[in-house]
A = this chain, B = another copy of it.
Amino acid sequence: MKPARIATVTPVSEESAVGKVVAVYADIKATKKIDFVPNIWRVLATNPDHLELTWTRLKAIMHPEAAGRTSKLDPLMREAIALAVSATNGCAYCVNSHTAALRKLGFDAEAVGEVLAVAALFNSTNALADGYQIEPDVLPPLDG
């Protein structure tokens, strides 16, 4: 049976995965503790190298402990940034996915609203600072 239309290319189902795609799919499910492969990974699998590169990087940045490293950001802050960037870019898939992640981590609708309030505020002031071409303030240097 042909998979339902979810993208401009036909996604690679878990059953039809071969080669490095199999290992990446398994790692995604284990790392994220979920029992399905989200659409974005099944679509990226149409170019297996790119799937692997994207997953390796997302794992290292968003699941640092699973990638054997440490991060100074906690999961809530990372997902809040993810939602703010996705709202700024207007990405439907990403907004849905990162709102769900924030909810899983305990944020209720009001807290999601605070994240979007901050994102919206700075989309606004970014347009003002750029729209007036305002020069940066002269501040004491930051070291390191």
Contact = CB atoms under 8 A, between A and B. Distances in A.
A22 B40 CA distance: 34
Interface string A110-144: 11111111111111111111111111110100111
A25 to B, nearest CB: 15
A102 to B, nearest CB: 9
Interface string A21-33: 0000000000000
A1 interface: no
User: What 5 pairs across the A-B complex have the smallest Cβ distances?
Assistant: A87-B131, A47-B113, A90-B130, A93-B129, A96-B136
A137 B104 CA distance: 15
A70 to B, nearest CB: 9
A100 to B, nearest CB: 5
Given A61-B118, A73-B111, A109-B9, A84 B84 contact: yes
A65 interface: no
Contacts of A78: 118
Nearest to A9: B109
Given A40-B129, A61-B121, 7 more contacts: A40-B125, A46-B144, A58-B121, A72-B110, A83-B131, A89-B122, A100-B142
